[in-house]
Amino acid sequence: MEQEPRSFTNQANLNPQQNLAPIMTIGNWIVTMIILAIPFVNIIMLIVWAASSAENPNRKNWAIAQLIFMAIGIALYILLFSTIVGLMGGILNN
């Protein structure tokens, strides 16, 4: 049973041939979260979902946002780690 897509935009502005994204069910999100709990598989699946043109646009945009946050987190971690290593090196040289 396929669900009808919902839209929160003004229906008068839509082209009749325009495809609306299907709603992701709670079950779909639960499976998504379970997949993301598996180490290494989570990163691979985020890349697959973000790069796939056939993927649900909601999950695709969410995957892109997750990858951006992961990249920011890794950059902050590297910055913090290198600062701590530099401070420790400075203390040990004195």
Look up residue 76 and give its two tokens.
């902050």
Domain chopping of the chain, boundaries: 11-93
Element (H, E) at 22: none
Per-residue pLDDT tens for 7-49? 555 555 656 566 688 889 999 999 999 999 999 999 999 999 9
- Measured from the Cβ of residue 72, the count of other Cβ atoms closer than 10 Å reads 10
Per-residue pLDDT tens for 43-71? 999 999 999 988 899 999 999 999 999 99
Measuring CA to CA, which residue among 45, 84, 37, 81 is closest to residue 63? Answer: 45
In this prediction the pTM is 0.70
For helices 57-93 and 41-51, angle between their N-to-C axes, nearest 10 degrees: 130
